Amino acid sequence: MQMEGRKLGGRYEVISRIGGGGMAIVYKARDLKLNRYVAIKILSESLSNDSEFIRRFSREAQAAASLSHPNVVNVYDVGRDGYIHYIVMELVEGPTLKQYILDQGPLPVDEAARIAIQICDGLAHAHENQIIHRDIKPHNILLNRHGQAKVTDFGIARAASSSTITQQGSVMGSVHYFSPEQARGGQIGEKSDIYSLGIVLYEMLTGELPFDGDSAVSIAIKHLQEDPVDPRKLNPNIPDHMATIILRAMQKDPNMRYTSVRAMKQDLEYALQLGTSRPATGFGPRIENVFETIPLTGDDSTPSFTQRDDSPVQRPEIRTNNNDTRRKHSQNTVGEHTQRKLENQLKGISADQNKTIFQKTMVYIQEKLTWWQKLLFGLFTFAVIIFLAFYGFTKIWGWMGDKNNSSSDGSSQNLSGDMVTIPDVKGMEKDEAKAELEKLGLKVKSRMKKSDEVKPDSVLKTDPAIGEKVKKGSTVTIFVNIDGVKVGDYRGHFEQSATRPIPKKGNGYDIRIIYCASNGKAKTGQAYAQDPAPGEYIQKGGTVEVWVEPGNGICKKKPPSNSAYNLNRIPQLVASADPWLRGSADFISSSV
């Protein structure tokens, strides 16, 4: 919704947006009564419609308003304007600690210790007032121009004496910084804030997060069962006493951590007195002019778990690819019950901080547009969907219609256009007749036949006959009159015979023997087919092919089907052709 220029509660004039997250958007505003600038956090519409959340959140925000400390961002007011729920807070000009780390890299030990001491002061004040922050992270630590650290965003804090605002079955807080007890969904107390502060101190000194992963569940499991890499391995300038403080604050067992943040503060002050390998530089000048105005909700890249948004991941500027390979597994393991609980709690949460274009668009629509703009956008979107659906349906329908028409036309053509009539080619020369038939899409095969009806090398007849209809692609045989010699009959003869062997030459033509098995129909060495057939004519100097049974089953070339001879007549043929073989006729007949 468009908030700039609006006046909330008749008192707070909204000037500009300065930040925001999944739960709320933060604006810079002017308090007209006290004539001062403030920060106003406006809850998102999705949470504003949850009456139970609003009731609990308002109660705990009022509890946070009771805090007054230099290291805590003061809450001035909690109000409602129509459907808009808002919290008025102190405006801090300066970066978040997360932004500062990204800008400066790993901080000097003394600077990190001074910031951690101030955080301890702010948390100690909250703990003494029975308020647990539950979401300590660099994004919720603000640094003003003088280097003063202020803890903010107690919006999801839980007053120790009241019920939690956490909805049943969900875990709130940021996955990279929350404690093992938060991962288990167990009792959360002051020591949970100590664990998170230990991770913040770890990140300040190393520039890296102790635990990272591809999903919220995998990161939560690492909080439960893996020990962090010793910070001294990542930054050799970290003194032993400072590393000891970090590792003690990050103990898996709450009983092994500091008893309170004041105890942790005392160790930090003592470590600061011991000195470091680097000279103290102070951090006020380094913060000057980093950012003019910052969001009180911190960096948007780390949402809380009630948002069901993308889980935070460490920014690429300070991320290392081999971080996971350096992890050491402790003796603690995650039980099946805890594993299932984590999967249910963190289901749908990704560790990737980058949102898709669609997600960013939806966030913009939800946060920037007024109700009537949203209505217009919805109507426009609906109209576009209807138009695209109608257009697509019309296109598909037209395409299917064209296809059906094409099929119908094609069917008609198949019924009439695919059939051709064999033209009258009788008397045409062989090549002329062949060209005429091929022009109609027919295949042409020629055979020789002796006749006095037409001149030599002219077509005598066709098969199928002239005038018949055939399909395109069919084979038509043309019989060509030839001025040649008549072919003799060599079927039933033997390649080796005492009286009548198959000759090498005929009457004006050559004879070529082809060996091909007859599948037991002929005797070894016996001719059983020939081409051209007996009685047909062949040009002088042509070749007659004769097929002979080789006896070894091989076949170099099969005979044409129209040249096969009725082998049942071979005994009579052989007996009549060769008197020397008459005695073998009965044997051949019995073997055929």
Structurally, how many domains does the chain consist of?
4
Q: Which of 323, 347, 371 is the last residue of a domain?
A: 347
Q: How far is CA 506 from CA 82, 211, 455, 462, 539, in A?
A: 117, 99, 25, 28, 12
109 and 248, same domain (yes or no): yes
- What interhelical angle do 109-128 and 261-274 show, nearest 10? 160
214 and 115, same domain (yes or no): yes
401 within a domain of the structure (yes/no): no
115 and 186, same domain (yes or no): yes
353 within a domain of the structure (yes/no): no
123 within a domain of the structure (yes/no): yes
Q: Which of 321, 347, 373 is the last residue of a domain?
A: 347
Taking the whole predicted model, whether its pTM rises above 0.75 is answered as no
239 within a domain of the structure (yes/no): yes
Binding residues for ATP: 41
Mean pLDDT, each 10-residue run in order, the chain (592 residues): 83 88 82 92 76 71 82 88 86 89 91 94 92 88 89 61 37 74 84 95 94 85 90 93 94 94 94 64 39 38 35 34 40 53 53 52 65 83 90 82 55 59 87 88 84 78 89 88 81 81 85 88 87 81 88 85 52 42 37 34
198 and 111, same domain (yes or no): yes
- Position 341 scores a pLDDT of 56
Q: How far apart are CA 57 and CA 76, in angstroms?
A: 15
* Domain around 28: 7-90
301 and 343, same domain (yes or no): yes
38 and 135, same domain (yes or no): no
Task: Give the containing element (helix H, strand E) for 387.
Answer: helix 371-416
245 and 290, same domain (yes or no): yes
408 within a domain of the structure (yes/no): no
| Side chain identity, residue 543 | T
471 and 521, same domain (yes or no): no
579 and 469, same domain (yes or no): no
- Position 147 scores a pLDDT of 82
379 within a domain of the structure (yes/no): no
475 and 489, same domain (yes or no): no
- CB-based contact 294:99 (threshold 8 Å): yes
Q: Which of 56, 90, 124 is the last residue of a domain?
A: 90
- CB-based contact 48:54 (threshold 8 Å): yes
45 and 103, same domain (yes or no): no
Binding residues: 41
Q: What is the CATH number of the domain that holds 58?
A: 3.30.200.20
3-state secondary structure 39-61: EEEEECHHHHCCHHHHHHHHHHH
185 and 277, same domain (yes or no): yes
319 within a domain of the structure (yes/no): no
Q: Catalytic residue positions?
A: 135
Angle at 133 between CA 128 and CA 135, to 5 degrees: 160
Q: What is the CATH number of the domain that holds 541?
A: 3.30.10.20
- Position 368 scores a pLDDT of 62
Q: How far is CA 228 from CA 197, 200, 271, 586, in A?
A: 14, 13, 21, 103
Q: What is the CATH number of the domain that holds 245?
A: 1.10.510.10
269 within a domain of the structure (yes/no): yes
